[in-house]
Structure 1
Amino acid sequence: MPLICRNNKTASEFRLILREGNFNRRFYGRDRKERFLTIAWNRGKSQTVVVDGIAYDFPENSILALIINQTFDFSDPESVVAWQFNREFYCIVDHDREVGCVGFLFYGSSQPMFVNIDEVQQDKLNTLLKVFQEEFEMKDIIQEDMLRVLLKRLIIIVTRLAKKQYLAGDMNDEKLDIIRKFNLLVETYYKKEHGVKFYADQLCRSPKTLSNLFAMYNNKSPLSVIQYRIVLEAKRLLMYTDKSIKEIAYELGYDDAAYFSNFFKKQTSFAPSEFKSAEASSVVGI
């Protein structure tokens, strides 16, 4: 069983997962009501993690951050240590004001980031993990506050490492913050807003400025990031729910199901009906 700190008055919850042989997540299914961010540390040998139907190599001694609505499976879950928390326990957006860009770990990229942990950082994290375990045993009135402080420290440590590994040398904090905020805005509004201009306006930047900035950071354009997020959600809904194509199109902001179907096929080479009927594990991946 995971170690859990829960406050019934505020609905806040924080979990520490240790040596759980069946640790996984099914957001479109049994876990739909659980809205947890997850930080997973692979302390064992390299293994496979399947995130929304796509298999990735989860290297030895690396950390992966997963957002609320992602479905995931580990090939060796007992080797994974995971911290899970909801917005009520620790709000990424609110705490950004305190520590700066902590949201980068979860919203700094549209693709999973595997953060490598060297021996020095492993020692730090092992020490921090012991303190986490001790605090979960302390059932007093300041337990929640202490665990929140420790979680903040964990996020800062991993974020610093992620920024060093994934950012180009000329990517300063201001530019990084624009990208992170763009990704966070997309996660919030992608079902309604499909064009770059809306997000550029929210960030007080021009679409051209965003395009130039993304060209420095990765190969995806801002429009590609938006479209990738729409298609990803469409695939999830097609695979994990019984909703019709028309219902899915409407949920994703398309009044015309035929237009949505054409968009989906252009992005994936599959019509939605073909994707829905295919064996996701062997024919198409998310």
Structure 2
Amino acid sequence: MKLEYHNIKDEGRFIVTSFQCGPSLQLLQEKELYKIIWCTTGETQLTVDGYEVTLKENQVLFCTPVNVVDVPTDNFGLIAFVFNREFYCIQHNDSEVSCMGMLFYGSSNAPIANLSERHVKSFNAMLTLFQEEFETKDHIQGEMLRTLLKRMLITATRLIKNDNYTEELTVKQVDLIRKYNILVEQHFKEKHQVADYAEMLFKSPKTLSNFFKKHDAKSPLKIINERITAEAKRLLLYSDKSAEEIAYDLGYNEPSHFSKFFKKQTGTSPLTFRKS
């Protein structure tokens, strides 16, 4: 199965595929595409940014355009929803959906939602509606597909919140964690200190650190460091840039400082990581 919508005017693209053909697998190698991968049966070993991820039955993986995803050719039971910014802008619609910082951010740990029996029925119903809309070629087809995608994102965001945060957290508190992740995603290349983000959130660094610790979330500094490390690994694995060029890209004026940071985070130097 490969169902595709393409608006020539604005270059919006949206594809639903089961990966049972070569061109579908190539989609994951294209840049600028958001990827939602649903394992409908069994389990499959995927590779995200060079690391293995086991996607089990009724789990859904969310990857940004910067996440590099590889799916085995002998996969079965996977369904992907792939789209670009022109089709559905995550940041533009975030005030309505609240998925940025929950579902889509460039962390090394791509979020996974666990579908309950009720939500499996909901996702199957949405898949049927998607298929029907792809068959309806009219001037509102794109808008109908966007509406269905928005519904899927809202459902998944609720699931991620329930999986990762206790009921003790208020909406305001969850929103603080979400906004912090968004800011790190937007500024990690030039801002490496918790104080930089605390200032943007009108909090003190200590207040942020204590809040994350109280609610058993990753520390603010760890979120920054993991995001920088994830980007460094991606560039080392999938680009021809030198370690020195990568250091400058990530905001390090001295390549030696970047090498020291990378070795502290991974246990190995950038060059050794690339060779291995």
Match of 1:51 among 42, 48, 53: 48
Q: Which residue of the partner structure matches residue 191 of structure 2? A: 193
- 1:63 pairs with 2:69: no
Structure 1 SS opposite 2:248? helix
Identity of aligned residues (%): 42
Number of corresponding residues: 273
RMSD: 2.1
**Which residue of structure 1 aligns with residue 12 of structure 2?**
12
In 1, Cα distance between equivalents of 2:238 and 2:145: 34
1:264 corresponds to which of 252, 262, 265: 262
Q: Scaled by the length of structure 1, what TM-score is found?
A: 0.88
In structure 2, what is the Cα distance between the partners aligned to 1:61 and 1:244?
40
Q: Deviations over 1:175-211 (max 9, x none)?
A: 1111111111111111111111111122222212221
Q: Relative to 1, partners in 2 of residues 1:25 and 1:106: Cα closer, same or farther, differing over 3 Å?
A: farther
TM-score by length of 2: 0.91
Once the two structures are TM-superposed, the CA of residue 81 in structure 1 deviates from its matched residue by 0.9
Shift of 1:218: 3.8
3-state SS, counterpart of residue 103 of structure 2:
helix
Once the two structures are superposed, what CA deviation does each residue of 1:90-141 show, in whole Å capped at 9, x if it has no partner? 1222222224x22222249762332221222211211110110110111110
**1:44-89 deviations in whole A, cap 9, x for unaligned?**
2022122111212211111111111101123454421111122222
> After alignment, is 220-229 or 204-213 more displaced?
204-213
CA distance in 2, matches of 1:39, 1:2: 14
Kindly report which structure 2 residues correspond to 1:1-286, keeping only aligned pairs within 5 A, or say none.
2-22=2-22, 23-24=24-25, 31=30, 34-75=31-72, 77-99=75-97, 101-103=98-100, 104-107=102-105, 111-278=109-276
Residues 1:174 and 1:110: Cα distance change in structure 2 (over 3 Å): farther
Task: Flag structure 1 segments of 5+ consecutive residues without an equivalent.
Answer: 279-286
Does the residue aligned with 1:94 lie in a helix, a strand or coil? coil
Deviations 1:198-255 (A, max 9, x none): 1112222221222122213445211111111111111111111221111111111111
Change (3 A) 1:158 1:24: same
Aligned CA distance change for structure 1 residues 43 and 94 (closer, same or farther; 3 Å): same
Partners of 2:35 and 2:81 within 8 A in 1: yes
CA distance in 2, matches of 1:145, 1:184: 26
SS at 1:106's partner residue?
coil
Q: For the Cα contact (< 8 Å) 1:237–1:243, is it kept in 2?
A: yes
